[in-house]
Amino acid sequence: MSSARELKNRHPNLKMAVLEKESKLAAHQTGHNSGVIHAGIYYTPGSLKAKLCVEGMKKLYDYVEEKSIPKKRIGKLIVATDQIEVDRLNVLYDRALKNKVDNVELIDEKGIKQIEPHCKGLKAIWSPNTGIIDYSLVTEEYAKDFKTQNGEIYLNFEVNSFSSSDNPDYPVRISSKDNNTVLAKHVLTCGGLHSDRLSELCGCNPNPRIVPFRGEYLLLNKSKTNIVKSNIYPVPDPRFPFLGVHFTPRMNGDVWLGPNAVLAFKREGYSWFDVNLKDVWESISHSGFQKLAYKFLSAGLDEMYRSIFIDKQVKMLQKFIPDVTINDVKRGPSGVRAQALDADGNLVDDFFFDMGKGDFGKRILHCRNAPSPGATSSLAIAGMVADKMENQFKL
């Protein structure tokens, strides 16, 4: 939606449409994420992710201020609880400085207590500009901007084929599952959990494959939400592919705890009972997933165990806030992450674009991976995508 808005801003006379398979915008990843506005601390200095996050955060804050979208700069603590983590934290702090993240500082145990009296740790990075927001509202605002300039949005339009049309001005035919059709001159796909399938419709390589991982959160009881004031995150462990559990206050006053990371049995599988056999087979038969599962078998089983027995997840949370007990939490929401995997089992951690085959396929640019922090970076990503569209198609 941000890319459509950016392209419309640059080319107001172009006739443009957004096709969305659900009955509303932001129904999946965007509407189920943690709602954090990230500052750009974690990412490799000089990388596209680092640049886009730092730039995107500033643009997002300016945008939501202008549009009066509610947000809170509650900050983030990245907390080290032992000496090994302290060493990793120092490296992370150096990375934050190289990424030019504003106002980050290293604080000691006393400093942690001043910000989060209930939090336990030896040392932490404090990022005061990290915030929280409802990204569904942001998406709706992008859509309003787009429609104000006569952009059209078609909901309930699940694309199932691309083909050539007989119209020389609009040579690409996009068809939906229920036989609706849109003709286009150029197409951009940003399909999230289905991005690989959309590209394969144009003859692209099946890799990277999207493998869905569900992140399940716990909810802190209302009587205990006052013990968490800011985002509290762990120091990333480089041995594992996912970040680990953290404390995330929400705009509505809730506090989310987690998430874990387990294989989802459906592309949009928000619980153990959401199962699609085609989706399961695509995941488990993929050579990249098999290699990843073999490499992290023990960690993966631990994640599944914590999914079933939430007291094990609480134990991990107590590492940071000992006051949290099993009686203070209940099962909460979940989200599904579109994890792109290559054939060797590597997590694709950068942007990945692809072009289709044949006459009509060469008019279609596929954004097959837009990794976290995609929501924070959305306005900056939109600029990059619009540049790509202009260069590729001479808009």
Secondary structure element (H or E) that encloses residue 173, with its range:
strand 172-176
Q: What per-residue confidence (pLDDT) applies to 18?
A: 98
Q: What amino acid occupies position 81?
A: T
**How much is the average pLDDT of 81-105?**
97
Grade residue 390 by pLDDT with cuts at 50, 70 and 90. Answer: very high
pTM, two decimal places: 0.96
Residue 180, CA distances (Å) to 7, 155, 162, 173 in order: 24, 11, 12, 10
pLDDT tens across 123-152, in order?
999 999 999 999 999 999 999 999 999 999
Q: Residue range 222-231: average pLDDT?
A: 97
CB-CB neighbours of 192 under 10 Å = 22
For 367-381, what is each residue's pLDDT tens digit? 999 988 999 999 999
- For residue 212, list its beta bridge partners: 338
pLDDT score at 112: 98
Cα separation of 313 and 305, whole Å?
9
54-62: Cβ within 8 A, 24+ apart: 54/99, 54/100, 54/101, 55/377, 55/380, 56/373, 56/376, 56/377, 56/378, 56/379, 56/380, 56/381, 57/129, 57/376, 57/377, 59/379, 59/380, 60/133, 60/138, 60/376, 60/378, 60/379, 61/37, 61/131
Tell me which of 52-56, 280-284, 346-350 is least confident: 346-350
Count CB atoms within 10 A of the CB of residue 302. 15
Beta-strand pair 262-263/231-234: unpaired
Helix, strand, or coil (residue 278)? helix
Residue 229 to residue 245: CA distance in whole angstroms: 16
Q: What is the pLDDT of residue 178?
A: 92
199 pLDDT tier (thresholds 50, 70, 90)? very high
**How far is the C-alpha of 88 from the C-alpha of 63, rounded, in Å?**
34
The yes or no reply on domain 1-35+134-208+351-395 and CATH 3.50.50.60 is yes
Q: State residue 226's pLDDT score.
A: 96
Q: Of the ranges 105-114, 150-159, 200-209, 234-243, which one carries the lowest mean pLDDT score?
A: 234-243
Distance of CA 232 to the CA centre of its chain: 18
pLDDT at 241 over 80: no
Instruction: Check residue 119 and give its pLDDT.
Output: 98
Type of residue numbered 45: P
Q: Given this model, what pLDDT does residue 356 score? A: 86
Would you call the peptide bond into 373 cis, given omega within 30 degrees of 0 as the criterion?
yes
Q: Are the beta carbons of 332 and 271 closer than 8 angstroms?
A: no
Q: How many CB atoms lie within 10 A of CB 112?
A: 22
Domain boundary assignment for the chain: 1-35+134-208+351-395, 210-347
Q: Which residues in 312-337 are b (16+ Cβ under 10 Å) and which e?
A: ebbebbeebbeebeeebbeebbbbbb
Average confidence score pLDDT of the chain: 96
Which fold, 210-347? Answer: D-Amino Acid Oxidase; Chain A, domain 2 (3.30.9)
> Rounded distance, CA 203 to CA 216, Å?
34
Q: Is the dihedral of CA 296, 298, 299, 305 positive or negative?
A: positive
In Å, the largest CA–CA distance within the chain is 71
Cite the beta strand spans of 57-164 per DSSP E: 71-72, 76-80, 105-108, 123-127, 131-133, 152-154, 159-164
Q: Select from 46, 29, 45, 7 the least CA-distant residue to 385.
A: 7
CB 21 within 8 A of CB 28: no
| pLDDT, position 81 | 97
pLDDT for residue 371: 87
| pLDDT > 90 in the chain, percent | 95
- pLDDT tens digits for range 263-306: 999 999 999 999 999 999 999 999 999 999 999 999 999 999 99
> For position 65, what pLDDT does the model report?
98
Mean pLDDT for 381-393 is: 97
More confident residue, 81 or 238: 81
H/E element, 331: strand 329-341
β-pair partners for 365: 188, 355
The alpha carbon dihedral of 231, 210, 331, 136 has a sign of: positive
Mean pLDDT of the 162-184 span: 95
CA–CA distance, 67 with 61 (Å, rounded to integer): 10
Residue 358 is predicted with a pLDDT of 84
Residue 348 has pLDDT above 90, yes or no: yes
